[in-house]
Chains A and B, each alone.
Chain A
Amino acid sequence: MSDEHDNNKSYQAQSSEVLDGSAGSINPDMDYVRPAEIPEQDLYHAHSFIEKWIFCQDAKVIGVQYFLTAVFTGIVGLILSWLMRLQLGFPELAGFMTAEHYYQFVTMHGMIMVVYFLTALFLGGFGNYLIPLMVGARDMVFPYVNMLSFWMFFVAVMVLMASFFVPGGPTGAGWTLYPPQTILEGTPGSGTGILLMLISLSLFVIGFTMGGLNYMITILQARTRGMTLMRMPLTVWGIFTATVLAMLAFPALLVSAIMMTLDKVLQTSFFMPTILKAGEVLEYGGGSPILFQHLFWFFGHPEVYIVALPAFGIVSDLISVHARKNIFGYRMMVWAIVGIGGLSFFVWAHHMYVSGMNPWFGFFFATTTLIIAVPTAMKVYNWILTLWRGNIRINTVMLWCLGFIVTFVNGGITGIFLGNVSVDVPLSDTYFVVAHFHMVMGIAPLMVIMGAVYHWFPLVAGKMLSETLGKWHFWITFLGAYSIYFPMHYLGFIGVPRRYFEMYDSPYMTSTVGMNEFISVAAFIVGAAQFILVFNIIKTLKTGKKAEQNPWKANSLEWYTSTVPPEHGNFGERLPVVHRWPYDFSVPGAKDDFIPQTTAPSEVANTEVEKT
């Protein structure tokens, strides 16, 4: 923030223009923050067990509910990935699995992990818990709608899970659900399975819209006194921008789901061309399968950033706190998040280079795709420059953050390969693609989630997670994840196609047997290692040591609540008043190495704080 400002300017001179909001009227009082504009929020307190823990209107409880439901689906997705790896590495042990099962597991693994696990966890889980606390609000602005949002999500998950138990099983069309094969006989789950998937996605979109409106309005219209947009923690910026993307991208998913449902149920031909089946012409005709791909990826690509942007935001905060240094280039970080969000709507067709488009389209979308690398690289530089000469604490949280940076750079670089049409075409539908997107939007955001869990657990539960178990968890996951995905890049280069049930008897495929066995073993270990966290949480809840109020010595508002864990209404009788950004760490001249956002300028008058 201070890039263009002289740090040595005294605070006195700066305070009026910053805190007053209206330049021109100089206020002599350096601690002045203009009065509250919004009346106190009318909160409905729970009266019974059901209102407190089940149909709860408190965003924090809703956040935990979202988190647990998402983790449950995530574990289902994890088990599906084990089954897939068992088939690929040790087909002789997976005799119970047919090709149909394999396709169904691939599909459900993909959809669960992207939509029902990562999106729900970041926006529903962390968003609900952290937004009101970090912007200094008592709760989300529409608590009732927020509650409906969770229950809608819950029903969506149940509908999705129900598809495992219907005749024909869940859909096996791949998570992209490309027509026409998705709804044609012969694709596993083309009966009830695909229908339940489409219904579940529609419910998810409706539920998410309710939540997303809450997140956006809470951030835009319910901040506490002194909290400007440019004083918000980057976590909030990341979640906010991701929510905007979701509000504009999910409509395309909803529309394509509705249209495909009609194609399936009413035999319309939105996406269905004329099709010959066993010599007979089907009832369908005249539709466009490419239209679906455009709609799907208009949702699908922003979806990648819906997962990535909250991770970018959260990791910035974690790095800053645990390196005891302000985030490098805060404003640049904010604009990079916004820029990536905006650009993400103009790149969707890079998923369709081999679908049959006008070559100029490929040219256009390759260009926009590569432009996204600019703000993304800025973020990576800024994380590294934040670490540079920081007072780095190598604890579990920091390890996850460092793991994230490395993994994200790895996945990002392969993204540059795939963004170029001429490089992408031979690599399309190979394991290279699998390795790329797992690195960049699977493992990398997952590392941030893990770091965030270790960071905020003391706030949510009031107890500290075990560091020893945490480090075991990190190292096994980190090294294991690389053992899984590095070999996959190689598999992709030699041309092994993805989504194949088995490695057929061609020389280049059989040469990969050893490597596939290795990947599978690593996948089993990494998957099992995640249960270290589950064990850690259960053990900590039972016997863990009580956390102090602000164990990491952080500045942002969530650590300055009246009680830990925070109660309904978050901040006790009076809402906090904010005087600075949340990154005043290791300020020269200050008594402690951190200055909370609520500290008034007069209390730190002799320090060289940054103008925010």
Chain B
Amino acid sequence: MSEQKIDGFELKPGFKGMASDTGSDQTMFKGVHWGKAMMWIFLLSDTFVFSCFLISYMKGRGSTIVDWPNTSEVFSLHVGGVPVPLLLIAIMTFVLITSSGTMALAVKYGYEKNRKMCGWLILATAVGGLTFVGMQVFEWSKLIHEGVRPWGNPFGAAQFGSFFFMITGFHGFHVSIGVIFLFIYTYKVFAGHYETKKRGWFTKMKGDYVEIEILGLYWHFVDLVWVFIFAFFYLW
């Protein structure tokens, strides 16, 4: 932020800077793009959604009368007849976190106006997201095959299936929405819409590479949420 210049306004560091930014006219977050500020606030709201889900899960798990299933057995994958706990989920997490890395690089190359690199990296992120969703489908079908249902399962408390399918489903829905947008942005970057200032299909607004960063914020958030889901479902 230190290099940034705002006409007629002195940016100060620390709390003093926060106070003087807040007390100034026009904008509160100096030099922050509208869309970026919007995404941050949306993510704050979405954090509350996931928090409500996870707190409900803790409450539900803490108060069932039947024992909770042994998660390291339920989620284990059999490799050559030997159950390996957390194998699939480790791969899924690895893929998703890696896609966060490619996303961050895409943002960097976008701002450097390196259209080709930016496009390929967004595509790589999209493919990573798609792989994650694919593996989630595999995990769901495996569990369903073993008899886990939203309303009950052979391993223990019925709430296990309810919370698992609901929360991972809601997260998977977020990932899927992100993947759709990643593909759209791949197209936009390769087609050079940000250079030609072509207006959007729906919004009729001119685009900019900052959109990549905004989508990146969302993508990193989805990853971060996954870390919490991972901890609460697979490690607890």
Contact = CB atoms under 8 A, between A and B. Distances in A.
Q: Is the interface of A mostly helix, strand, loop or mixed?
A: loop
Interface residues of B, number: 53
Nearest to A35: B7
A348 B6 CA distance: 43
A251 B49 contact: yes
B25 A209 contact: no
A291 B60 contact: yes
A205 to B, nearest CB: 9
Interface in A243-279: 247-248, 250-252, 254-256, 258-259, 262, 266-270
How many A residues are at the interface, by size bracket?
35 or more
Contacts, number: 164
B34 A44 contact: no
A37 B166 contact: no
A209 B46 CA distance: 10
Nearest to B45: A247
B205 interface: yes
B72 interface: no
Given A37-B9, A262-B166, A252 B48 contact: yes
A183 to B, nearest CB: 14
Contacts of A269: 151, 158-159, 162
A270 B56 contact: yes
Interface stretch (B36-44, B118-126, B177-185, B188-196): B36-44
Interface stretch (A76-84, A217-225, A387-395): A217-225
B65 interface: yes
Given A38-B27, A270-B56, A213 B41 contact: yes
Given A37-B30, A270-B56, A291-B56, A42 B25 contact: no
Contacts of B26: 36-38, 222-225, 227
Given A34-B9, A37-B26, A268-B151, A287 B205 contact: no
Contact of A268 (B59, B64, B150): B150
A476 B211 CA distance: 54
A593 interface: no
Nearest to A218: B34
B65 A228 contact: no
Interface in B7-33: 7-10, 20, 22-32
Interface string A374-404: 0000000000000000000000000000000
A25 B8 CA distance: 10
A34 B60 contact: no
Nearest to B8: A34
Interface of A: 20-25, 33-38, 42, 44, 141-142, 144-145, 209, 212-213, 216-217, 220-231, 247-248, 250-252, 254-256, 258-259, 262, 266-270, 283, 285-288, 291, 295, 298, 578
Q: Which 5 A-B pairs have the closest CB atoms?
A: A34-B8, A251-B48, A268-B162, A255-B52, A22-B10
Given A37-B30, A142-B38, A252-B48, 6 more contacts: A37-B7, A221-B32, A230-B23, A255-B53, A258-B166, A287-B60
Interface of B: 6-10, 20, 22-32, 34-35, 37-38, 41-42, 44-46, 48-49, 51-53, 56, 59-60, 63-66, 150-151, 157-159, 161-163, 166, 170, 202-206
